[in-house]
Amino acid sequence: MSDTYFHPVSGFDLPRFAGVPTFMRLPYVPPGHERFSDVQIGLIGVPWDSGTTNRPGPRHGPRQLRDASTMMRAQHQFNGTRPFEAANCADLGDVGPNPADIMDSMDRITTFYNEALAAGIMPLTAGGDHLTSLPVLRAVAKNGPVGMVHFDSHTDLMHSYFGGTMYTHGTPFRRAVEEGLLDPKRVVQIGIRGTMYDEEDRDFAKANGIRLILIEEFHARGVEDVMAEAREIVGDKETYVSYDIDFVDPTFAPGTGTPEIGGPNSFQAVQVVRELAGLNIVGADMVEVSPPFDQSGGTAFLGVSIMFELLCVMSAQM
Amino acid sequence: MSDTYFHPVSGFDLPRFAGVPTFMRLPYVPPGHERFSDVQIGLIGVPWDSGTTNRPGPRHGPRQLRDASTMMRAQHQFNGTRPFEAANCADLGDVGPNPADIMDSMDRITTFYNEALAAGIMPLTAGGDHLTSLPVLRAVAKNGPVGMVHFDSHTDLMHSYFGGTMYTHGTPFRRAVEEGLLDPKRVVQIGIRGTMYDEEDRDFAKANGIRLILIEEFHARGVEDVMAEAREIVGDKETYVSYDIDFVDPTFAPGTGTPEIGGPNSFQAVQVVRELAGLNIVGADMVEVSPPFDQSGGTAFLGVSIMFELLCVMSAQM
Amino acid sequence: MSDTYFHPVSGFDLPRFAGVPTFMRLPYVPPGHERFSDVQIGLIGVPWDSGTTNRPGPRHGPRQLRDASTMMRAQHQFNGTRPFEAANCADLGDVGPNPADIMDSMDRITTFYNEALAAGIMPLTAGGDHLTSLPVLRAVAKNGPVGMVHFDSHTDLMHSYFGGTMYTHGTPFRRAVEEGLLDPKRVVQIGIRGTMYDEEDRDFAKANGIRLILIEEFHARGVEDVMAEAREIVGDKETYVSYDIDFVDPTFAPGTGTPEIGGPNSFQAVQVVRELAGLNIVGADMVEVSPPFDQSGGTAFLGVSIMFELLCVMSAQM
Amino acid sequence: MSDTYFHPVSGFDLPRFAGVPTFMRLPYVPPGHERFSDVQIGLIGVPWDSGTTNRPGPRHGPRQLRDASTMMRAQHQFNGTRPFEAANCADLGDVGPNPADIMDSMDRITTFYNEALAAGIMPLTAGGDHLTSLPVLRAVAKNGPVGMVHFDSHTDLMHSYFGGTMYTHGTPFRRAVEEGLLDPKRVVQIGIRGTMYDEEDRDFAKANGIRLILIEEFHARGVEDVMAEAREIVGDKETYVSYDIDFVDPTFAPGTGTPEIGGPNSFQAVQVVRELAGLNIVGADMVEVSPPFDQSGGTAFLGVSIMFELLCVMSAQM
Amino acid sequence: MSDTYFHPVSGFDLPRFAGVPTFMRLPYVPPGHERFSDVQIGLIGVPWDSGTTNRPGPRHGPRQLRDASTMMRAQHQFNGTRPFEAANCADLGDVGPNPADIMDSMDRITTFYNEALAAGIMPLTAGGDHLTSLPVLRAVAKNGPVGMVHFDSHTDLMHSYFGGTMYTHGTPFRRAVEEGLLDPKRVVQIGIRGTMYDEEDRDFAKANGIRLILIEEFHARGVEDVMAEAREIVGDKETYVSYDIDFVDPTFAPGTGTPEIGGPNSFQAVQVVRELAGLNIVGADMVEVSPPFDQSGGTAFLGVSIMFELLCVMSAQM
Amino acid sequence: MSDTYFHPVSGFDLPRFAGVPTFMRLPYVPPGHERFSDVQIGLIGVPWDSGTTNRPGPRHGPRQLRDASTMMRAQHQFNGTRPFEAANCADLGDVGPNPADIMDSMDRITTFYNEALAAGIMPLTAGGDHLTSLPVLRAVAKNGPVGMVHFDSHTDLMHSYFGGTMYTHGTPFRRAVEEGLLDPKRVVQIGIRGTMYDEEDRDFAKANGIRLILIEEFHARGVEDVMAEAREIVGDKETYVSYDIDFVDPTFAPGTGTPEIGGPNSFQAVQVVRELAGLNIVGADMVEVSPPFDQSGGTAFLGVSIMFELLCVMSAQM
């Protein structure tokens, strides 16, 4: 049972459009705050998109996600989970990136996450483009490779771009495997689709034992069957969850830089998270939400709805 | 067979973008008009959102719905119904609300509906936020409680907000049950979802015999099965239909104040109405369409498409 | 195996937001160009909407489709087709219409297509409103009637509008049958829905043997079953494919002038094209994409995703 | 003093977002209505843009202008004019155009205006593209050429487009001079700017005595001086006022098809109308308002603000 | 010289899109905070629009203003003022309104401001609609009437709406005069324009000695001359500054509910504030910023730019 | 007199919405093209924004500017210049940047411009953020420092960001002075405004003799007087023109990343360019146009209108 200090403000008391917007209307507890070490799940923003090869924007993601998150309430309608009672949750603030220096930014991110992990805080990240996951994994998997359930329309397993550039939002998991942060045999990528340049990323996946589930297979088998396999792949060892919003069909999530049509709808988008219950999750992220391409704000609203589902699963582990 | 006076203008004769926009391009027959008593189904606007606890906007709904309704034609493609021939339909105009006084506005609405009902007109309402349904029910259920098929993502059965405020768009059906306007055992609420503050509304439903069908059950059972149960619940006695546009998934209906992801798509949104055929309907409403959040106008277009389906069902009773 | 001259620019070499946008980043090879006769599949823009009876805009379609098409890559993720290697593809440019003269514009279009066909180029058209298909068919079916697989929410089989106007985007296929360009017994129209004025178009279809598949039948039977029937109807003789973007649900494709709710989602939108594999296709079009109503650009992106699928099917015939 | 039948609905009585929107919330009195002959100034919509050579949209103008006009109140703040008391004003409805036939549409427009003029009604038109002015002038100037004060960034004096097309929104006043509807020596065009194809239109103006006032001269001399000259040019004989919204700077009026930067601001946009007081006006129009390019609705709001100013000047003649 | 605790975060250290957005990136010091009594100027949000008679939205103002305010830096470019060094500034958070009860909301606002004033904090308010100013004045003018410099296109001096409703955003200053909160002889209203219902508000102004400066006079005399008179009117006694964003031309500030064309541009919008230097200001507000009508966010950006100018003037008094 | 090969396509022949969009509808003549050495003025896109410290987007600038440029015609209305006849102009295409590597991108840009300059082509650049100017100047000023007329609301003379990052869009001209590319005594910066962090950039300007003209001085003195001084500062030696679109007021140019209110209007925005006539211009750029923040496209349209004015001045030197 959580400390009431960590309970979000209710919309019955303060209308949801009022107040300084923190994630889920939780208290703001940045590093150095006196209650920092009491936090169990920390929501962290990484406003950074320097790894983006096409349309930028996710640097604005955390702020819009905070705004939309004020629409979330206290209890899951279907399964009754009350995540903010199950665990001490807080908004840890944003990692301050260096928009003009990728390597410096990655160091800043890893440093921040190391501090949170040292305080016993499990991170739930609001990105940022998908390169964000690499410096986060450098902290999370510091003691050895973890497994990963990865929702995305792209593998992000490319070798390099533009004649040798190694760090982009299309390469994080190639690097993570190379750096020993991910155990490729415990990695499953779900929802892969869209046109391809070539098969280089798929060759890498095949060579290393990463399981790709194309969207055609996803639609044919259904959520439950696919997720049962995913659970089996990662097993009961430490697992990271990485959720790229472009996993969802771009009509449901237009606010992203590299959309691919034909994806899951918003109900399936949360169903897959519910099926993660019982895994040994060590961290999760929601990335590639890009406000400049999200005129109605619907993408951010979907993003925080998914983050709430992730919180339900993560808080149940406490 | 209806009077040709009540036939809408055809797009073959006058392009659909031309002309002063009335609902469905029907004649404008406000109270006092010489043909008022010949109307069988009256389309009424209630441009009012003073009960809104979060994002306002439905006060602009009727005007945008009128505009979008000029896209509707004369005949249902699938079942061949020609509602404007089956019944004398007309645009009765808007109830003039008092945006700064909730109680005064509710009185104005009930008065307007009493006048229409006294003339033998069955009302199809374009709201307005969901508090609109309460003063409408005060007229419709004047002679005793009615049943209700309620499409929504919320129960709207809350007791009060902000420390005791009894009349908001989250409380109309609690009030309606208390006032004896609804027979709770003949009320079914379909599509309920989204995060909750607590279970107070569900406790009230359970205590009073109101049937809630969560979206998970809806998706699992399908439209036909769910609607068969709904028809059974309301039976052949007088029934009101209340359709909150947020029943539909917010990607299909972004123009609303309290969206909840994971809802039905636009095909299911009209299928559920078709399944109402044969009920003893005494009135219906389409509420919570909020133009400021509907940049493309798609929500209003979906709203009037649903209103056309409601008209097909309602006119078949004539 | 295609000539490397006709390979598109890769996003690995030049970021996708860079460069003058041609269709699919292919070379621009207009009539008169030295490589014109080497082209096998020509992508042609017809920026024209003078046949539009309601909301104009498709005249802006080709430019926005070119822009969005820079997001397409080289290979189909699911079936591995590499269309730009299978056939020499090129952007042939736009037919220059006369926005203020319908008959003149139709002549210009037919002339352009006659030239392409004379050079042995199979046309893939980016419209333009649906009247575009008529002057294209006058070139494509010059030697006798062809069959047609037609994806749309409307039949476009009307006789006339506004007191006798024969050439609008609601009449092209009535004219095409009358002119002997289409063999009505080899025509199937899929996805028909929306309210109707009357049954005149359906009577014409019935009298001539055109097969209409309403959206209700489409949803009930599923893509594979419906498309099997479609393939049977057109058989192995010459077949034209006409794809009106309003076939797709307007939430997925808001950028169009005459939306009708309840249509297929974006996954079904490409599935139906994949099921055309093996037909004897002589040309195809993507019409009614209307940028002024496509604020997010999602409709154009879906449109080019469908065009890529059409290219995969068409290039496989080479 | 006008008949109270013709007074608009007040926002104090019915909120401005409520009610079926007619121009200025005036009574709807179409041809055939029993009060038609009592109208002194008729507001007429011409939802038509078939003469548009570039970006269409003004066909949607009248509806959006009606909507925005509900924001207008009863009295001019600066000079105290109460136009709806000074003259019987009414909304006469829209002329139904034929979107696919320019010549037919022009005939329909002239017929409608002839009927209004025969009833003694002075027309204030809401277009429509600028070709609208030609069929209106055919009615207004039936008995001989009139003068014209023309606010625009273009002369609209071109000979033809696209190889001989004579009727477009770039040619109406060339035709009007040729047809003897305008006395060129009593025509002044104010605000001309933007890049040019060539000097053909300016040569025509010079040869016929039409006075062009470029925007540079307008800014240098100021509103009062320029308008004093304009009044002198048209004198006290019958004068038509044609106001293309693209006269105003496109930042103030983005909703138009052929914007040209560097124009007047919104204060100057109404000042020029006030300076028309005392002229012998026989009709006026507000054209080229194009809702698809007016996302915020600000262009329509400016358009009706200018129409209110025109009404003040016109009603003072009664 | 202010305490460094109250210095805003610099964009050189943390990019401006990063971090939880407080007003001007100042520390969040709500009532009860240990540093509350050290604050000299408190920025307070009042997310409330229940007094709005037409288009709602200002309830969302404070959040969007906070977001835009992260673009503000430390020093005034022209006069060198560094307001955050001149005074201890802080974000005091939002007053929690009751969206469904006007009287309750007004009490909550006055209570909050009384607490701030008791702590010696001068309030700078981000509304909220203009009714906000009334409960604020009830606190600010608790000890006797104050003068007011009021920038607006409306007088907000109406008696009542909709048959007797006394508290709307069109009536606050009538009530304030009646309640003895404002000394009407020390009130100047600048920028008045737009159509009027009648002259009731102007009669009240005249009878009570309130000075109205119409926009025509403003444009004719210029900022400096008008503001010299304004300074003379309020003199050196306690003065409140109320800034309705609709004072500015709606092209520069579209995000507001009751726009009136012809207003000042953005340069004049800040010039008028600079001319307040030296007055005895006891509080100020920025009201009627309505995000739903501010698609680009430019209105909020202008709003916070004006708030920065107000801070410069207010902090110079410390 | 230019070669007709280099004349743009006329809108009289091909409607302006038709055709593959090149800058100004000029021929596409990339490096390697057989007519490359015949080009006199080359329009070059630099789709790059990696130096952006706040809101990204200018990487999409060149494509949107090409699209908007199809609205430009052949002749200047006011002074009669026909730039495409005065000089051989062509679209040279885009420099392909490396979005994830700033130093690599700068090298690519300098290389491209060196090639153009070697062929005797004067560059007119469409950026890109303002860091673009630095690698361009490295080519243009290869043989010694040049003067510069710089329109902007910021000095872009900062030393570094985020703890030592030297290459951002806030530092290009500091670097350019340090690298000997600019002669600071021949540099004038016009339109400077907005809040400041500190005075570091102004100290650098003062120490090096760079002239800053704040917006207050600009408004007070007027365009002609300010530009006379600017011409005197740069004299008759080689001069570069750098035009940041945020020089213009953000209401006229919202599509940019770092707006500052209070700037020039669109008429002044082109007037300042006309006043450059007679200078010895060696290149010019239009930077910081950011399509994601330019929903209506008006910023790009203003941008190309300014580019047309620049072309008029530059072509007159030939």
**Residue pLDDT, tens place only, F272-292:** 999 999 999 999 999 999 999
Angle at E229 between CA E225 and CA E232, to 5 degrees: 140
Please provide the distance, in angstroms rounded to a whole number, between the alpha carbons at the two ends of chain E: 9
Which pair of structure tokens corresponds to residue F84? Answer: 């495409």
Which pair of structure tokens corresponds to residue A180? Answer: 């020993």
Distance from CA of A21 to the nearest CA of F (A): 20
Chains that touch D (3 or more CB pairs under 8 A): B, C, E, F
**Could you please report the per-residue DSSP string of A99-127?**
TT-HHHHHHHHHHHHHHHHHTTPEEEEE-
Single-letter amino acid, residue E136: V
Please answer yes or no on whether E21 and A20 come within 8 Å at the CB atom: yes
Residue A68 confidence (pLDDT): 97
Which pair of structure tokens corresponds to residue D241? Answer: 């006022």
Which chain B residue has the Cα nearest residue E105?
Answer: B162
Residue F134 confidence (pLDDT): 98
Name every residue in B having a CB less than 8 A away from some CB of C: 10-13, 15-17, 71-78, 251-252, 265-267, 269-270, 295-296, 298, 301-302, 305, 308
Per CB-CB distance under 8 Å, the chain C contacts of D99 are 52-54, 162, 168
Contact (CB, 8 A) for E64 and E300: yes
Is the pLDDT assigned to residue A247 strictly greater than 70?
Answer: yes
Consult the annotation and say whether D152 binds a ligand: yes
Distance CA F208, CA D142 (A): 72
Mutation target vs A (from B201, B251, B267, B296; most A CBs, 10 A cutoff):
B251
**Could you please report the per-residue DSSP string of B172-192?**
HHHHHHHTTSEEEEEEEEEEE
Short-list A287, A300, A309, A301, CA closest to A48 = A287
Whole-angstrom Cα Rg for chain A: 18
Which chain F residue has the Cα nearest residue C294?
Answer: F295
Residue F12 confidence (pLDDT): 86
Per CB-CB distance under 8 Å, the chain A contacts of E19 are 93-94, 96
Hey, how many other C-beta atoms are within 10 angstroms of the C-beta on B163?
Answer: 11
Residue A317 confidence (pLDDT): 92
Contact (CB, 8 A) for A68 and A55: no
Single-letter amino acid, residue B226: V
Per CB-CB distance under 8 Å, the chain B contacts of C195 are 72-77, 308
What average pLDDT score do residues C23-45 get?
Answer: 98
Q: pLDDT band for position A162 (50/70/90)? A: confident
Please provide the distance, in angstroms rounded to a whole number, between the alpha carbons at the two ends of chain D: 9
Task: Indicate whether this complex's ipTM tops 0.85.
Answer: yes
CA distances from C213 to B77, C150, C221, E70, F235 (A): 12, 10, 10, 55, 75
Q: Which domain holds residue D287?
A: 4-316
Consult the annotation and say whether A101 binds a ligand: no
Distance CA B205, CA D244 (A): 60
Average pLDDT, chain E: 97
Is the pLDDT assigned to residue A59 strictly greater than 70?
Answer: yes
Report the share of chain C in percent with pLDDT over 70.
Answer: 100
Distance CA A239, CA F94 (A): 44
Mutation target vs A (from E14, E20, E43; most A CBs, 10 A cutoff):
E20
Please answer yes or no on whether F196 and E74 come within 8 Å at the CB atom: yes
Distance CA F93, CA C304 (A): 23
Consult the annotation and say whether D156 binds a ligand: yes
Distance from CA of C162 to the nearest CA of D (A): 6
The closest CB to that of E77, out of F163, F192, F259, belongs to F192
Mutation target vs F (from C20, C43, C66, C91; most F CBs, 10 A cutoff):
C20
Is the pLDDT assigned to residue A93 strictly greater than 70?
Answer: yes
Average pLDDT, chain C: 97
Distance from CA of C263 to the nearest CA of F (A): 28
Per-residue pLDDT tens over the stretch D226-256: 999 999 999 999 999 999 999 999 999 999 9
Please answer yes or no on whether B74 and C198 come within 8 Å at the CB atom: yes
Per-residue pLDDT tens over the stretch D32-53: 999 999 999 999 999 999 999 9
Please answer yes or no on whether D94 and B14 come within 8 Å at the CB atom: yes
Please answer yes or no on whether E251 and D266 come within 8 Å at the CB atom: yes
**Structural domain count, chain D:** 1
Is the pLDDT assigned to residue D67 strictly greater than 80?
Answer: yes
Mutation target vs C (from B266, B299, B308, B312; most C CBs, 10 A cutoff):
B266
Please answer yes or no on whether F295 and E298 come within 8 Å at the CB atom: no
Per-residue pLDDT tens over the stretch C178-203: 999 999 999 999 999 999 999 999 99
Is the pLDDT assigned to residue D265 strictly greater than 90?
Answer: yes
Please answer yes or no on whether E51 and B293 come within 8 Å at the CB atom: no
Residue C12 confidence (pLDDT): 86
Contact (CB, 8 A) for A144 and A240: no
Short-list F120, F91, F75, CA closest to F5 = F91
Average pLDDT, chain A: 97
Which pair of structure tokens corresponds to residue F127? Answer: 């950026």
Which pair of structure tokens corresponds to residue A286? Answer: 């929601």
Per CB-CB distance under 8 Å, the chain E contacts of B160 are none
Q: pLDDT band for position E19 (50/70/90)? A: very high
Strand intervals (E) in chain F: 41-45, 89-94, 122-126, 146-151, 182-192, 211-214, 238-244, 280-287
Distance CA F2, CA E299 (A): 46
Contact (CB, 8 A) for B34 and B267: no
The closest CB to that of F17, out of C28, C63, C91, belongs to C63
Contact (CB, 8 A) for B189 and B225: no
Consult the annotation and say whether A294 binds a ligand: no
Q: Which long-range contacts (CB under 8 A, 24 or more apart) does A3-9 make?
A: A3/A38, A3/A88, A5/A35, A5/A38, A5/A88, A6/A38, A6/A39, A6/A84, A6/A88, A6/A89, A6/A90, A7/A74, A7/A84, A7/A85, A8/A72, A8/A74, A8/A84
The closest CB to that of D251, out of F17, F76, F252, belongs to F252
**Phi/psi class of residue F214: alpha, beta or left (left: φ > 0; alpha: ψ in -120 to 50)?**
beta
The closest CB to that of D100, out of C50, C60, C104, belongs to C50
| Per-residue pLDDT tens listing for chain B (318 residues) | 579 999 999 998 899 999 999 999 999 999 999 999 999 999 999 999 999 999 999 999 999 999 999 999 999 999 999 999 999 999 999 999 999 899 999 999 999 999 999 999 999 999 999 999 999 999 999 999 999 999 999 999 999 998 889 999 999 999 999 999 999 999 999 999 999 999 999 999 999 999 999 999 999 999 999 999 999 999 999 999 999 999 999 999 999 999 999 999 999 999 999 999 999 999 999 999 999 999 889 999 999 999 999 999 999 998
Quick one: chain D helix, strand, coil %, rounded to 5?
Answer: 40, 20, 45
Residue F162 confidence (pLDDT): 87
Per CB-CB distance under 8 Å, the chain C contacts of D53 are 99-100
Per-residue pLDDT tens over the stretch D279-293: 999 999 999 999 999
The closest CB to that of A13, out of E18, E96, E295, belongs to E96
Q: What are the beta bridge partners of residue F165?
A: F161
Please answer yes or no on whether B77 and C214 come within 8 Å at the CB atom: yes
What average pLDDT score do residues E123-130 get?
Answer: 98
Whose tokens are 């003078």? That residue is C50
Which chain C residue has the Cα nearest residue F17?
Answer: C60
Distance CA F295, CA E170 (A): 32
Distance from CA of C99 to the nearest CA of F (A): 8
Residue C151 confidence (pLDDT): 98
Which pair of structure tokens corresponds to residue C96? Answer: 């220059």
Please answer yes or no on whether D77 and E198 come within 8 Å at the CB atom: no
Average pLDDT, chain D: 97
Q: pLDDT band for position C1 (50/70/90)? A: low
Distance from CA of D104 to the nearest CA of B (A): 13
Please answer yes or no on whether C251 and B78 come within 8 Å at the CB atom: no
What phi, psi does A20 have (nearest 5°)? Answer: -70, 125
Per CB-CB distance under 8 Å, the chain B contacts of E104 are 162-163, 165
Is the pLDDT assigned to residue E30 strictly greater than 70?
Answer: yes
Please answer yes or no on whether B161 and A267 come within 8 Å at the CB atom: no
Please answer yes or no on whether B162 and E53 come within 8 Å at the CB atom: no
Residue D97 confidence (pLDDT): 95
Please answer yes or no on whether D96 and B15 come within 8 Å at the CB atom: yes
Using the 8-state DSSP alphabet, how is residue E75 labeled?
Answer: B
Using the 8-state DSSP alphabet, how is residue B111 labeled?
Answer: H
Using the 8-state DSSP alphabet, how is residue C250 labeled?
Answer: T
Which chain D residue has the Cα nearest residue E249?
Answer: D266
Distance from CA of C130 to the nearest CA of D (A): 14
CB-based contacts of B34, cutoff 8 Å, min separation 6: none
Distance CA D296, CA E299 (A): 12
Longest dimension (CA), chain F: 56
Please answer yes or no on whether A219 and C305 come within 8 Å at the CB atom: no
Single-letter amino acid, residue A81: T
Residue C318 confidence (pLDDT): 87
Is the pLDDT assigned to residue E312 strictly greater than 80?
Answer: yes
Using the 8-state DSSP alphabet, how is residue B42 labeled?
Answer: E
What phi, psi does E167 have (nearest 5°)? Answer: -115, 95
Residue A1 confidence (pLDDT): 58
Consult the annotation and say whether F154 binds a ligand: yes
Which pair of structure tokens corresponds to residue B57? Answer: 């906007």
Q: What are the beta bridge partners of residue A124?
A: A43, A284
Q: Which helix (H) or strand (E) holds E244?
A: strand E238-244
Chains that touch F (3 or more CB pairs under 8 A): A, C, D, E
Please list the alpha-helical segments (H only) found in chain E.
61-69, 83-86, 102-118, 133-140, 172-178, 200-208, 215-221, 223-234, 266-274, 298-315
Q: Which long-range contacts (CB under 8 A, 24 or more apart) does E179-183 make?
A: E179/E138, E180/E141, E180/E144, E180/E145, E181/E134, E181/E137, E181/E138, E181/E140, E181/E141, E181/E145, E181/E146, E182/E137, E182/E141, E182/E145, E182/E146, E182/E147, E182/E148, E182/E240, E183/E145, E183/E146, E183/E147
Residue E164 confidence (pLDDT): 87
Please answer yes or no on whether D50 and C163 come within 8 Å at the CB atom: no
Q: Which long-range contacts (CB under 8 A, 24 or more apart) does F28-36 make?
A: F28/C20, F28/C28, F28/F90, F28/F91, F28/F93, F29/F90, F29/F91, F29/F92, F30/F92, F30/F93, F31/F92, F31/F93, F31/F112, F31/F115, F31/F116, F35/F5, F35/F90, F36/F92, F36/F119, F36/F121
Consult the annotation and say whether D104 binds a ligand: no
Query: Cα E267 to chain center, whole Å?
Result: 18
Q: pLDDT band for position A217 (50/70/90)? A: very high
Per-residue pLDDT tens over the stretch E240-283: 999 999 999 999 999 999 999 999 999 999 999 999 999 999 99
Q: pLDDT band for position F1 (50/70/90)? A: low
Residue C268 confidence (pLDDT): 98
What average pLDDT score do residues D9-20 get?
Answer: 93
Q: pLDDT band for position D1 (50/70/90)? A: low
Contact (CB, 8 A) for C142 and C283: no
Average pLDDT, chain F: 97
What average pLDDT score do residues E37-41 get?
Answer: 98
**Phi/psi class of residue A263: alpha, beta or left (left: φ > 0; alpha: ψ in -120 to 50)?**
beta
Distance CA D190, CA E189 (A): 34
Whose tokens are 């290389």? That residue is F111
Q: What's the CATH number where B48 sits? A: 3.40.800.10
Residue E1 confidence (pLDDT): 59
